[in-house]
Amino acid sequence: MGEFKTIGIIGRESDAVGESLKVLTRFLKKRSVKVLLSEKIASLLPNTQLPICNRTQLGESCDLIIVLGGDGSLLGAARMLARHNVPVLGINRGRLGFLTDILPDELEQNVGNVLDGHYVLDKRFLLNAVVKRGAETIGRAEALNDVVVNSGTSAQMIEFDLYVDNEFVYRQRSDGLIVSTPTGSTAYSLSGGGPIMHPKLDAVVLVPMFPHTLSSRPIVIDGNSEIRIEVNGRNAIHPPVTCDGQVIITAEPGDTIFINKKRHKLKLIHPVDHSFYASCRDKLGWGSALV
């Protein structure tokens, strides 16, 4: 651990990312590290002599992937890279930055520490989502944060039956359901009234979205549970199934959504002084009104 000889860089296209990319590539060159750029981020370095690869090639070739951007950029990278077992380090050029926790002005110091073997390795599980229409698979996707089944409109509710490990839980009429990992518990799930879960928990939370009955509350279940959501055939709308807010599969009345834990975990690298609770204090403003 700690010896990263080939490093891939992924990120979104923005002026802020471009600034950090120049600093990062200069620093890595001084450290005699081989650097590969993703196709998208390479556009920020015109006439670069660095090799340019797609994400699959980066996953197969690199010892470490550095993501420049916000949590959304890292979520997209995570879904692709988890299967390659390559660790990921995030440098925050976005907003909240629960996952991309290195600040731009600390880039050289923290990346240098990682290259010297001083870091914390954090493993996060992802979710698989499969939409079936009878025996036919309509679509499948992965999520690090959450899988969301919703009505797709604020004017109508959907009705669905929820099963956990083949045991009937309830029939619900609501705007939908958020199925979140601990990683996603500080994202959309939190906005929907779900609990904050420590990332080390092996658990999944089911958060109803504006349920028709006030007694419906979030449920935390074992992380190895098999979740099945059956969309009632009487629904008039076609509910979208969204993974991390980025991948959308359109379901139909009568379809079934299966959700379970993905076998491969994301290896997420943090600075040695990283603290989940400190991140919550900083990002969520805990105690900010206290002096």
The single residue listed with the structure tokens 């290259």 is 115
Tell me how far CA of residue 229 lies from CA of 171, 195, 213, 221, in angstroms. Answer: 10, 21, 18, 15
What's the burial of 137, exposed, middle or buried (CB within 10 Å: 0-12/13-18/19+)?
Answer: exposed
Residue 230 corresponds to which amino acid?
E
Query: Phi/psi class of residue 52: alpha, beta or left (left: φ > 0; alpha: ψ in -120 to 50)?
Result: beta
Dist. CA 187–CA 194, nearest whole Å:
9
Residue 116 falls in the annotated catalytic set: no
Residues 6 or more apart from 185 whose CB is under 8 A from it? 194, 195, 196, 197, 205
Dist. CA 170–CA 138, nearest whole Å:
25
Q: Which of 15, 63, 71, 165 is catalytic?
A: 71
Give the active site residues. Answer: 71
